Amino acid sequence: MPASQPRSRARDRNNVLNRAEFLSLNQPLKGNQESRSSGRKQSSQAGAAGAQNNNAKERRQSQQLPEEDCMQLNPSFKGIAFNSLLAIDICMSKRLGVCANRASSWGGARSMINLLGITGHGIPWIAGTLICLVKSSTLAGQEVLMNLLLALLLDIMIVAGLQKLAKRKGPYDINPGLLDYLTMDTYAFPAGHASRAAMLSKFFLNHLVLAIPLRILLVLWALCVGFSRVMIGRHHITDVLSGFVFGYLQFRLVELIWMSSNTCQMLISIW
């Protein structure tokens, strides 16, 4: 026994792994353990902080857009009603587009419907008003014609502005004509022909003395011009109905800013 102990001690001394520079291979240093544990703790804390940040961002987004999320997952009654009415409008407008092309059920009457639509274009009405204004010799006639010209110009500008804002296309893919481009009537909502026909009929009913049959024919003309645009596939039914409403509002606007005879005479003398 006493001889074996010095031998084991000598063996341990001769063992290379027991030297100080090789101790880290057998027993890791406390500093390394602490650094590794601290690194793990920091990485876990960073991961927890990142998860908390992501959760906070998701909460903020959900708080900022609660209505949109609700609309996507659970549409409101107003949204359902609006979409249903829009679908009915498109379906009925396509059914009434009987002259949309030559192959339609009333394709042979397309030329006649287009001719009816020309009576509601703004360019012929403006040209005719200018000719009558030049040939008119009475102050009352010039006053009415000057305000009619103002109403036509306002109608073109208002309808063109509304169409540029809405940018709604018709039920059929039909290219606008030359007169449509001149009056900037290139989109569907609101219908320019319908607004112009409603405004003109109301204007003439108020400022011209007409017999009852002529008054009835004037109202029928406005209705036919408006719904002829549905028949050729250029406008929806709601486009025409809104055009009638805007035409009446334009007439009320012209009545509010009605130019007096003196103002009209001054404008005519400048012209």
> Across residues 51-58, what is the average pLDDT?
58
- Taking only the tens place, the pLDDT of each residue in 182-238 is 777 888 889 999 999 999 999 999 998 889 999 999 999 999 999 999 998 888 999
Tell which wins on pLDDT, 36 or 190: 190
Confidence of residue 6 (pLDDT cuts 50, 70, 90): low
Q: Give the contacts of 121 (CB within 8 A, at least 6 positions apart).
A: 179, 180, 183, 193, 196
Distance CA 247, CA 220 (A): 15
Task: Select which of 121, 207, 235, 236 is catalytic.
Answer: 235
How far separated are the first and last CA of the chain, in Å rounded? 136
Residues 172-184 have a mean pLDDT of: 77
Q: Which pTM value belongs to this model?
A: 0.69
Per-residue pLDDT, 224 = 93
pLDDT at residue 203 in the model? 95
Mean pLDDT of the chain, nearest integer: 78
User: What is the structure's pLDDT at 99?
Assistant: 84
Q: What is the pLDDT of residue 65?
A: 45
pLDDT in the model for residue 69: 42
pLDDT tens-digit series, residues 76-130: 777 788 788 888 888 888 888 888 787 778 878 888 888 888 898 888 999 999 9
- For 97, residues 6+ apart whose C-beta sits below 8 A from its C-beta are 104, 171, 172, 230, 231, 232, 233
Q: What is the pLDDT of residue 195?
A: 94
Q: Above 60 in pLDDT, residue 165?
A: yes
| Residue 235 designated active-site | yes
Residue with structure tokens 């959900």?
Answer: 62
223, 228, 229, 231 alpha-carbon torsion, rounded to 10°: 130
Question: Catalytic one among 121, 193, 207, 236?
Answer: 193
193 carries an active-site annotation:
yes
Residue 226 or 268, more confident: 226
Helix pair angle (110-118, 212-231), 10° resolution: 120
